[in-house]
């Protein structure tokens, strides 16, 4: 006689146990997924907060720099305004002293046997009409006018033009007790007169025997007041 054993209840129990294990695995996987997602989201959120904080700091620095730039711009604008006022004052000073020095230079350049009849100046352009005992005196006047210069030590007469690599000129100074000759850089010397031209020179005729003759002349030149 064979004994029969019913294994169905055992299989059912195994199936239920296996189902519980699968559910447990799914539950653990779900928890791991939720936890992983949470930490990933938190990490991304922290990075976003740090990025926002960095952007805010950068904007604050930009605002601070813009403020500094604005202050520098205001300083530059005020600097230009002050420089403009100083330029005006310097122009007024030169306009006041320039003609006086120019006339002083003209007087110093005049030979003894030359007389001026009139002196007309307009926009730094000068016309001189005068008389001289000879053409040589007129030529001497022109040389004298061309040699009158202003130096850091005052007015003088140019003795030697700039030459050589040093580019220095020798000037006879007028404002010293004894006439002295000094060397100056070519850039430190400013001529009083330029573009000197003789436009007319006519020797007068005399009807009396032994009476002196004169040369009536006309000069045009430019005067430098910015000294």
Boundary of a domain, candidates 51, 82, 100: 100
Taking a C-beta distance cutoff of 8 angstroms, is the pair 172, 203 a contact? Answer: no
Residue 226 corresponds to which tokens in the numbers above? 């910015």
What span, in angstroms and rounded, lies between the C-alpha atoms of 34 and 30? 6
| Statement to judge: residues 170 and 85 lie in one domain | no
List b or e across 57-91, with b for residues whose CB sees 16 or more CB atoms inside 10 angstroms. eeeeeeeeeeeeeeeeeeeeeeeeeeeeeeeeeee
The string of pLDDT tens digits covering residues 10-22 is: 566 666 777 777 8
Domain carrying residue 203:
110-223
| Statement to judge: residues 56 and 127 lie in one domain | no
| Statement to judge: residues 160 and 90 lie in one domain | no
Kindly tell me if the per-residue pLDDT of 211 is higher than 70.
no
| Statement to judge: residues 51 and 134 lie in one domain | no
| Statement to judge: residues 94 and 162 lie in one domain | no
User: Is 69 inside a domain boundary?
Assistant: yes
Kindly tell me if the per-residue pLDDT of 90 is higher than 70.
no
Taking a C-beta distance cutoff of 8 angstroms, is the pair 133, 112 a contact? Answer: no
Taking a C-beta distance cutoff of 8 angstroms, is the pair 203, 215 a contact? Answer: yes
| Statement to judge: residues 18 and 94 lie in one domain | yes
Taking a C-beta distance cutoff of 8 angstroms, is the pair 192, 186 a contact? Answer: no
| Statement to judge: residues 120 and 186 lie in one domain | yes
Taking a C-beta distance cutoff of 8 angstroms, is the pair 224, 102 a contact? Answer: yes
The string of pLDDT tens digits covering residues 130-139 is: 999 999 999 9
User: Is 5 inside a domain boundary?
Assistant: no
Kindly tell me if the per-residue pLDDT of 217 is higher than 80.
yes
| Statement to judge: residues 55 and 80 lie in one domain | yes
Taking a C-beta distance cutoff of 8 angstroms, is the pair 224, 124 a contact? Answer: yes
User: Is 1 inside a domain boundary?
Assistant: no
Nearest to residue 156, comparing CAs of 171, 145, 141?
A: 171
| Statement to judge: residues 96 and 115 lie in one domain | no
Q: How many residues does the chain have?
A: 227
Domain count, the chain: 2
Nearest to residue 14, comparing CAs of 22, 5, 25?
A: 22
User: Is 105 inside a domain boundary?
Assistant: no
% of the chain with per-residue pLDDT over 90? 23
Residue 35 corresponds to which tokens in the numbers above? 């936890």
User: Is 15 inside a domain boundary?
Assistant: yes
| Statement to judge: residues 71 and 133 lie in one domain | no
| Statement to judge: residues 131 and 196 lie in one domain | yes
pLDDT of residue 132: 93
User: Higher model confidence: residue 164 or residue 61?
Assistant: 61
Structure pTM? Answer: 0.55
Residue 177 corresponds to which tokens in the numbers above? 């007790």
User: Is 6 inside a domain boundary?
Assistant: no
| Statement to judge: residues 130 and 53 lie in one domain | no
User: Is 185 inside a domain boundary?
Assistant: yes
User: Is 122 inside a domain boundary?
Assistant: yes
Boundary of a domain, candidates 100, 119, 147: 100
Boundary of a domain, candidates 49, 77, 100: 100
């Amino acid at each position: 006689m064979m004994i029969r054993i019913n294994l169905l209840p055992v299989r059912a129990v195994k199936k239920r146990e296996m189902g519980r294990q699968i559910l447990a695995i799914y539950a653990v996987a779900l928890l791991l997924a939720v936890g992983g997602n949470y930490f990933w989201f938190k990490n991304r959120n922290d990075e976003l907060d740090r990025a926002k904080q960095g952007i805010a700091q950068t904007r604050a620095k930009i605002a601070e720099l813009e403020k500094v730039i604005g202050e520098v711009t205001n300083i530059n604008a005020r600097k230009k305004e002050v420089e403009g006022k100083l330029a005006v004052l310097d122009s007024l000073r030169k306009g006041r002293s320039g003609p006086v020095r120019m006339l002083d230079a003209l007087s110093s350049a005049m030979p003894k046997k030359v007389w001026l009849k009139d002196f007309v100046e307009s926009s730094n352009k000068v016309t001189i009409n005068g008389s001289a005992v000879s053409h040589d005196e007129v030529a001497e006047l022109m040389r004298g006018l061309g040699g009158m210069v202003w130096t850091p030590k005052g007015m003088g007469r140019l003795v030697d033009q700039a030459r050589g690599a040093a580019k220095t000129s020798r000037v006879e100074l007028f404002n010293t007790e004894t006439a002295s000759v000094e060397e100056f850089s070519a850039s430190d010397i400013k001529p009083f007169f330029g573009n000197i031209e003789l436009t007319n020179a006519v020797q007068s005729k005399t009807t009396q025997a032994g009476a002196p003759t004169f040369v009536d002349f006309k000069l045009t030149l430019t005067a430098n007041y910015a000294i």
